[in-house]
Amino acid sequence: MMTPRAVLVHRRTELDELLLHHGTWQQAAFFLRTRDRDIEEVERRHAMQEVAMRTASASIPVEWRRIQVERGDLARFGFGVEDVVVAVGQDGLVANVAKYLTGQPVIGLNPDVERNPGVLVRHAPEAAKDLLMVAASTSISSRVEARVMVEATLDDGQRLTALNEIYVGHPSHQSARYRITAGEGQLERQSSSGVLVGTGTGSTGWCRSVALERHSTLVLPTPEQARLCWFVREAWPSPATGTELTEGLLDMGQRLEISAESDLVLFGDGIESDSISLTWGQSVSVGIAKQRLHLVT
């Protein structure tokens, strides 16, 4: 059996971003001060993240291998079957890493309970030692949530997966034009602000906000339920476009088909930098992914 490798995933803090942009602490402090903000605020959150990272690192058994990966490098990092992923940060960090995994267990550590809801990063950093032992044990299946993911497959074979939702729409703020097919062959030509297809995990985020705004009566799926929800955003009625197919549910084996009639883009979990483009005439099929996020509880 291979020795486990702990992969600590994190993202740059607000202080890191400020220093990257302004060059020095003094310039960053001046920039914030002239806008009635205090750099101590971001320094405090930076310190909490640093403490959480040190605590997580110190919890890794000495015989394990270890590596740290910044969120921006995930697309270039090669995960191994023996990896145990430790996401230290916000809930979105777990969603960011999920698409690159193939069943590796994920532990979410929350460094700032006052700001992070803790839906996916639900553990204190001090719990890392026990959770790593759980992740490496043979009885891990009893301590794992297998969260459903969504996938989009293009007609040219390209594929994209996401934990929360996949967005299909125009690459700018123009209207997206396409044909959508749902249910028992129901088809409609639409012009809209794009289409969202979300999981039960995503139903606590973007999809939920859309459902609340339009007072939808759909019963949104739960995180481990093999069901997706989908919403068309701001469909526009015209002689050539309709507004009848604007929301629904997808069970296992069901797909939402979208055929582009303008340049479109699709991305998952809000990561626009990792997107796929569609040109006029291309199509994409969206449904439940075989892949699951294995979240250690």
Instruction: Please list the residues that pair with 108 across neighbouring strands.
Output: 87
Burial string for 146-157 (b: 16+ CB within 10 Å, else e) reads ebbbbbbbbeee
The answer for residues whose C-beta is within 8 angstroms of residue 61's C-beta and 6 or more apart is 132
CATH 3.40.50 residue ranges of the chain are 5-137
Name the nearest CA neighbour of 276 among 173, 157, 196, 148.
Answer: 157
What does the pLDDT look like over 142-187, one tens digit per residue?
A: 789 999 999 999 999 999 999 999 999 998 888 999 999 997 778 9
CATH architecture, domain 149-290: Sandwich (2.60)
What per-residue confidence (pLDDT) applies to 149?
97
What does the pLDDT look like over 103-155, one tens digit per residue?
A: 999 999 999 998 988 899 999 999 999 999 999 887 777 789 999 999 999 99
What per-residue confidence (pLDDT) applies to 1?
67
The answer for residues whose C-beta is within 8 angstroms of residue 192's C-beta and 6 or more apart is 169, 175, 176, 232, 233, 234, 235, 236
Name the nearest CA neighbour of 197 among 224, 225, 164.
Answer: 164
Q: Which segments within 120-253 are labelled E, that is strand?
A: 144-154, 159-162, 165-169, 176-182, 186-192, 195-198, 227-232, 247-251
- 75 pLDDT band, cuts 50/70/90, is confident
Instruction: Please list the residues that pair with 134 across neighbouring strands.
Output: none
Interatomic CA distance for residues 218 and 231, integer angstroms: 10
Average pLDDT score over residue span 88-110: 94
CATH 2.60.200.30 residue ranges of the chain are 149-290
Instruction: Give the fold, CATH level 3, of 5-137.
Output: Rossmann fold (3.40.50)
Name the region of 215 (left: φ>0; alpha: ψ -120 to 50; beta: rest): left
Q: Is the pTM of this model over 0.75?
A: yes
